[in-house]
Amino acid sequence: MPSSDQTITTIIATLGEFLSSDQLLTSEEELRPYECDGLSAYKRVPLAVTLPNTIEEVQKIMRICSARNIPVVARGAGTGLSGGALPDENGIILGLSRFNQILEIDEENQLARVQPGVRNLAISQAAAPYELFYAPDPSSQIACSIGGNVAENSGGVHSLKYGLTVHNVHAITIITSDGDLVTMGSAALDRAGYDLLGLMTGSEGMLGIIVEIVVRLLPKPKETVVLLAAFNSNSEAASAVAAIIGAGIIPAGLEMMDKLSIQAAEDFAHAGYPTDAEAILLCELDGSSIQVVEEKDRVTELFKSHNATSVQTATTAEEQARLWAGRKSAFPAVGRISPDYYCMDGTIPRMELPAVLDKISDLSTIYDLRVANVFHAGDGNLHPLILYDANNPGEFDRAEEFGSEILKTCVDAGGTITGEHGVGSEKIDQMCYQFSDDELEFFHAIKDAFDPKGYLNPGKAVPTLHRCAELGQMHVHNGELPHPDIPRF
């Protein structure tokens, strides 16, 4: 770690030998925009921000930092919601925003080769002339970068049918902790050796720096329909979700919103949502015309059999865009009804949705904080938004405790503390609740194999055993994991 002003000056001077003034940011005004990611509650200012243009520049940066044990935090668009791009005060930010080129659209093999700073939505836009699209679509897809999506294994509305980022990436090229260039995976459907590509996806910048990605493209479906069903209770809506999946129907997307999020989204986006409903489900079906018609009729029947008070059907692109507009803008919409909100991200088995939503409601009363629930119901990925006012002393601390209890509830229900936002700085203590000491030691061994000096995004995602011991949370549940029949790591 840099130990003196003289050392810091030397490091910056060394970086300045090959980085121009607009690639090496060091002033207070230049550094402040990088002090946090989308989780703005946690803030730190780095020593410097580097904005390389080429792979060779990234390699030089990595070798300089490795030789001097300077922490490096990779950063894409900064839209992450777990503090994964939170700077280290003794290190640098390695910004990849200038790696923003779509290098190739391979129509024949349905692949795209892109740089990590390319926006998620830009890939589908570039592929549209070929009647192809990139399936994973986080709510922030208009701004978030594909490199960050790989680092966090992001999902989105269409992950239920088409999978998370890990299911849609064929290969990545990384720069290792000591500056070497390595490609993992290939354009082929299968590859020899260990699945290092799967290991890197979701590794949160702790194992290497991604500089190129090959993603899978899919043909646009022939037919699409979107259904909106209103319910008088969260439990009825949640039960309808289980019924749809149980009937063997896999929608392209199946999203749920509760009353507070419905009202906020409708006031903001004017999507035509029924504001008197306690919950709504948005269900998108796609495929052949015959398949979509059959599934639409069956889903409508299931909605009604679970006491839906109304069912809307959107068949035109304009109608569908209107219904999705409310869901896609739900997070900013909730920001209009509260000075601050704390977005959680946990995943549970679908069968546990009614019980967990009831538990969240009970916790809302205990902590005296409102919650807006808007989430990927089809795959059990919850996003409770805890509303608070940071101007009121102690209110953020209460929101954090509330969020921690939600994550523990997810683990107790047989789920996990994150579905797509990552662990970052935010959920590192809850890792102690979910994993045993043996599992955490294994995670540390993997980290050590890729980054023996430990300078890539230090202090994130995987807690030390000492930290867990201090919290008193190591391997809870009376020595037994909840739902032992559900596969773990």
Q: What secondary structure does DSSP assign to 57-86, as a single string?
A: HHHHHHHHHHHHT--EEEESSS--SSSTTP
The mean pLDDT of 71-77, rounded to a whole number, is 98
Return the percentage of the chain with pLDDT > 90, whole number. Answer: 92
Does residue 128 surpass a pLDDT of 80? Answer: yes
Looking at per-residue pLDDT, the higher value among 471 and 35 belongs to 35
pLDDT of 191: 80
pLDDT of 189: 80
Token readout for 388 is: 């608070």
Residue 202: which of 244, 264, 153 has the closest Cα? 153
**Whole-angstrom distance, CA of residue 138 vs CA of residue 75:** 17
353-388 residue pLDDT tens: 999 999 999 999 999 999 999 999 999 999 999 999
Domain 223-333 matches domain 338-471 at the CATH topology level? yes
**Whole-angstrom distance, CA of residue 267 vs CA of residue 250:** 31
Token readout for 322 is: 């209107």
State the pLDDT confidence band at 97, using cuts at 50, 70 and 90: very high
The pTM score is: 0.93
Does residue 479 surpass a pLDDT of 50? Answer: no
321-361 residue pLDDT tens: 999 999 999 999 999 999 999 999 999 999 999 999 999 99
Q: Which residues of 30-42 are buried (b: 16+ CB within 10 A; e: fewer)?
A: ebeebebbbbeee
Does residue 108 surpass a pLDDT of 90? Answer: yes
State the pLDDT confidence band at 219, using cuts at 50, 70 and 90: very high
What's the chain's average pLDDT?
94
What would the CATH number be for the domain defined by 102-219?
Answer: 3.30.465.10
Residue 264 and residue 336 in contact, taking contact as beta carbons nearer than 8 Å: yes
146-188 residue pLDDT tens: 999 999 999 999 999 999 999 999 999 999 999 999 999 998 8
Residue 84 and residue 109 in contact, taking contact as beta carbons nearer than 8 Å: no
Does residue 267 surpass a pLDDT of 50? Answer: yes
The mean pLDDT of 191-201, rounded to a whole number, is 92
pLDDT of 1: 58
State the pLDDT confidence band at 15, using cuts at 50, 70 and 90: very high
Size of the chain in residues: 489
Residue 427 and residue 405 in contact, taking contact as beta carbons nearer than 8 Å: no
Specify whether domain 5-95 bears CATH 3.30.43.10. Answer: yes
pLDDT of 476: 45
pLDDT of 480: 46
Which letter does DSSP use for residue 376 in this model? B
Residue 348: which of 404, 422, 416, 408 has the closest Cα? 416
54-64 residue pLDDT tens: 999 999 999 99
pLDDT of 481: 43
Domain covering 338-471, topology:
Alpha-Beta Plaits (3.30.70)
Coil vs helix vs strand at 310: strand
pLDDT of 475: 45
Does residue 10 surpass a pLDDT of 60? Answer: yes
245-255 residue pLDDT tens: 999 999 999 99
Q: Which CATH number, 3.20.20.60, 3.30.70.3450, 1.10.10.10, 3.90.1150.10, labels domain 223-333?
A: 3.30.70.3450
Does residue 465 surpass a pLDDT of 60? Answer: yes
Question: Considering only 83-92, 150-159, 377-386, 471-480, which range has the smallest mean pLDDT?
Answer: 471-480
Domain boundaries, the chain: 5-95, 102-219, 223-333, 338-471
